[in-house]
Chains A and B, each alone.
Chain A
Amino acid sequence: MPPTTSPIVARLEEVAKSYSGQSVLKGFDFALEAGSVVALLGPNGAGKSTVAGLITGRLAADAGAVNLFDRDPRDPESRARMGVMLQAAGLPEALTVAEAIDLHAGYFKRRLKTRDVLEQAGLSALAKRRCDKLSGGEQRRVHFALAIAGAPDFLVLDEPTTGFDPDSRRAMWRLVRDKADAGVAVLLATHHMDEADALADRIVVIADGRIIADGPPAAIKAKVAGSTIRIRTTLSPAHLQMLPGASKVDQRGADTAILTTNARATLEALFGADPALTDFEVASASLEDALADIIANTVKEAA
Chain B
Amino acid sequence: MSTLVAAAPGVYVREASAEVIKSARTPQFIIPTIVLPPAFYALFALGMGNGNIEMATHTLATFGVFAVMGPALFGFGANVAGERESGQLELKRISPMPAGAHIAAKLVATIVFSVIAFAIIYGLAVFAGVRLSPGQWAMVTSVHVIAVLPFALIGLGFGYRLGQKGAIAIANVVFLAMAVMGGLWMPVAVLPEVIQTIAWALPSYHLGELALMAVGQSDAANLWLHAGPLALITLAAAIFAWTGQGRHAA
Contact = CB atoms under 8 A, between A and B. Distances in A.
Interface string A54-66: 0011110000000
A40 B137 CA distance: 63
B6 A108 contact: yes
A108 B91 contact: no
A39 to B, nearest CB: 21
B194 to A, nearest CB: 42
Contacts of B4: 2, 76-77, 80-81, 108-110
A80 B2 CA distance: 10
A103 B18 contact: yes
Nearest to A87: B87
A91 B25 contact: no
B133 interface: no
A89 B96 CA distance: 17
A79 B22 contact: no
A76 B5 contact: yes
A146 B18 contact: no
A92 B86 CA distance: 10
Interface in A86-108: 86, 88-95, 99, 102-104, 106-108
Contacts of B165: none
A84 interface: yes
A106 B11 CA distance: 7
Contacts of B23: 94
A90 B88 CA distance: 6
Interface residues of B, number: 31
A57 B87 CA distance: 15
Give the most central of B15, B25, B86, B91: most A CB within 10 Å: B91
Binding site secondary structure of chain A? loop
Contacts of B18: 92, 95, 99, 103
B14 interface: yes
Contacts of B249: 58-59
A111 interface: yes
A76 B94 CA distance: 9
A73 to B, nearest CB: 8
Interface in B94-114: 94-98
Nearest to A74: B94
Given A90-B86, A94-B26, A106 B94 contact: no
Contacts of A84: 91, 94-95
Interface in A243-267: none
Contacts of A106: 6, 10-11, 14
Interface in B11-49: 11, 14-15, 18, 21-23, 25-26
Contacts of B54: none
A59 B26 CA distance: 33
B88 A92 contact: yes
A145 to B, nearest CB: 12
Given A86-B87, A108-B4, A109-B4, A76 B21 contact: no
Which bracket fits the contact residues of A? 20 to 34
Given A103-B15, A109-B6, A58 B95 contact: no
Contacts of B11: 106-107
A272 B32 CA distance: 80
B22 A92 contact: yes
A184 to B, nearest CB: 15
Contacts of A58: 90, 93-94, 249
Contact of B5 (A2, A80, A89, A104): A80
A17 B232 CA distance: 40
Interface in B159-178: none
Contact of B6 (A57, A99, A111): A111
A130 B21 CA distance: 12
Nearest to B87: A89
Contact of B21 (A77, A80, A99, A146): A99
A234 to B, nearest CB: 52
A86 B21 CA distance: 25
24 contacts: A56-B94, A57-B94, A58-B90, A77-B4, A81-B4, A84-B91, A89-B88, A92-B83, A92-B88, A93-B22, A93-B26, A94-B26, A95-B18, A95-B22, A103-B14, A104-B95, A107-B5, A107-B95, A108-B4, A108-B5, A108-B96, A109-B7, A110-B3, A130-B25
Given A90-B85, A108-B6, A109-B4, 9 more contacts: A58-B94, A80-B4, A80-B5, A90-B82, A91-B88, A103-B15, A103-B18, A108-B4, A109-B5
Interface of B: 2-7, 10-11, 14-15, 18, 21-23, 25-26, 82-83, 85-88, 90-91, 93-98, 249
